[in-house]
């Protein structure tokens, strides 16, 4: 049995919306009793409808926001602030426009007090791994979206995290770039520098291609509906996954779940649309 690296235990989160003179204060329940764990070296995808609390959940895991109840256990302790050994890749890249590519990758190392010479060496190594050698002194606006996200990935990897968190990392790039980045990500986290990875997506094919396990989150308040193991052979970038019967089976299952969540709870039935199941 693989070792558990991180545990999300009964995490609940509500946001309070302050009232005005005309409106009463409201509580928005976003996550409800979310529980799952991450096994060493595995890649887990969380999939769920827009607004179901995926970003909130990742930020709680990274210690950026506090849960209302429940806890995240990492390295044997509850997470209370961003742990040094967690890396985060943001949907909108989150790069610093006034810094060069290298200086962006060095950012987390600076915060951790790594000296300049060592920082430079580490940044060069990870820029090479993500295929950005030659772009070290470029600025963010000189790069395509796909290249910017590779800088984001190099920056997260540079701190040598035990857990890599990624929030819809490929949602802002075009379809072809997305497929290439997915393959590169797998080659990195399942090969070059093995990592325990948790990635949020709303894309079914992305979830199946990347995952060892898929966590299905319901419409808000997000709850874990099911955890689906993806028992497809490793080195998935080397063959056509979609031709395999297991692929069709999992795709159908995940899509049916999403469809019923979105159609039935999203008010689509008013227009005569019903889920096919």
Ligand X SMILES: Nc1ncnc2c1ncn2[C@@H]1O[C@H](COP(=O)(O)OP(=O)(O)O)[C@@H](O)[C@H]1O
CB contact at 8 A, 154 and 105? yes
C-alpha to C-alpha distances, 15 to 21, 27, 31, 97, nearest whole angstrom: 19, 6, 10, 31
CB contact at 8 A, 43 and 200? no
Q: Which of 4, 10, 27, 50 binds ligand X (CB under 6 A)?
A: 50
Residue with tokens 């040094």: 84
Select the binding partner of residue 134 from ligand X, Mg ion, none (C-beta < 5 to 8 A, by kind): none
Q: Which of 55, 68, 177, 275 binds Mg ion (CB under 5 A)?
A: 55
Task: Output the DSSP codes for 136-176.
Answer: TT-BGGGS-HHHHHHHHHHHHHHT--SEEEEESTTTTS-HH
Binding status of residue 54 toward ligand X by CB under 6 A? yes
Count interface residues toward ligand X (CB under 6 A).
11
How far is Cα 48 from Cα 260, in angstroms, rounded to an integer? 11
Buried b (16+ CB within 10 A) or exposed e, 38-67: bbeebbbbbbbbeebbbbbbbbbbbbeeeb
Least CB distance to Mg ion at residue 55 (A): 3
CB neighbours of 247 closer than 8 A, spacing ≥ 6? 208, 232, 241
Select the binding partner of residue 53 from ligand X, Mg ion, none (C-beta < 5 to 8 A, by kind): ligand X
Least CB distance to ligand X at residue 185 (A): 19
Residue with tokens 């005309």: 22
Select the binding partner of residue 119 from ligand X, Mg ion, none (C-beta < 5 to 8 A, by kind): none
Binding status of residue 28 toward ligand X by CB under 6 A? yes
x/- string (CB under 6 A) for ligand X, residues 182-221? --------------------------------------x-
Least CB distance to ligand X at residue 50 (A): 5
β-strand partners of 77: 74
Query: Cβ closer to Mg ion: 55 or 187?
Result: 55
Q: Which stretch binds ligand X (CB under 6 A): 36-44, 46-54, 243-251, 254-262?
A: 46-54
Q: Which of 43, 45, 53, 79 binds ligand X (CB under 6 A)?
A: 53
Query: Cβ closer to ligand X: 13 or 155?
Result: 13
β-strand partners of 199: 45, 166
Distance between first and last Cα of the chain = 36
Least CB distance to ligand X at residue 155 (A): 21
x/- string (CB under 6 A) for ligand X, residues 126-165? ----------------------------------------
Query: Cβ closer to ligand X: 184 or 221?
Result: 221
Binding status of residue 56 toward ligand X by CB under 6 A? yes
Binding status of residue 30 toward ligand X by CB under 6 A? yes
C-alpha to C-alpha distances, 219 to 15, 121, 175, 224, nearest whole angstrom: 16, 44, 26, 10
Q: Which stretch binds Mg ion (CB under 5 A): 51-59, 133-141, 243-251, 269-277?
A: 51-59
Catalog residues that contact Mg ion under the rule CB under 5 A: 54-55
């Amino acid at each position: 049995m693989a070792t558990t690296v991180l545990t999300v235990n009964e995490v609940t989160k509500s946001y309070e919306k302050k009232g005005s003179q005309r409106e009463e204060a409201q509580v928005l329940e976003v996550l409800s009793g979310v529980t799952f764990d991450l096994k060493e070296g595995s890649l887990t995808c969380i999939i769920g409808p827009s607004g179901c609390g995926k970003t909130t959940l990742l930020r709680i895991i990274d210690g950026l926001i506090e849960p209302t109840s429940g806890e995240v256990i990492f390295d044997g302790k509850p997470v209370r602030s961003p742990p040094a050994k967690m890396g985060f890749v943001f949907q909108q890249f989150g790069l610093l426009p006034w810094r060069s590519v290298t200086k962006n990758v060095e950012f987390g190392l600076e915060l951790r007090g790594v000296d300049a010479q060592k920082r430079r060496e580490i940044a060069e190594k990870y820029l090479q791994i993500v295929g950005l050698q030659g772009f070290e002194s470029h600025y963010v606006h000189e790069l395509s979206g796909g290249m910017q996200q590779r800088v984001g990935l190099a920056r997260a990897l540079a701190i040598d995290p035990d857990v890599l968190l990624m929030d819809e990392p490929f949602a802002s790039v075009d379809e072809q770039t997305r497929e290439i980045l997915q393959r590169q990500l797998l080659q990195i986290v399942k090969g070059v520098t093995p990592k325990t990875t948790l990635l949020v997506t709303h894309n079914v094919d992305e979830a199946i291609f990347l995952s060892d396990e898929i966590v299905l989150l319901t419409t808000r308040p997000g709850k874990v509906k099911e955890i689906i193991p993806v028992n497809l052979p490793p080195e998935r970038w080397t063959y056509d996954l979609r031709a395999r019967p297991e692929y069709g089976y999992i795709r159908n299952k995940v899509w049916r779940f999403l469809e019923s969540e979105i159609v039935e709870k999203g008010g689509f039935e008013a227009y005569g649309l019903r889920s096919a199941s």
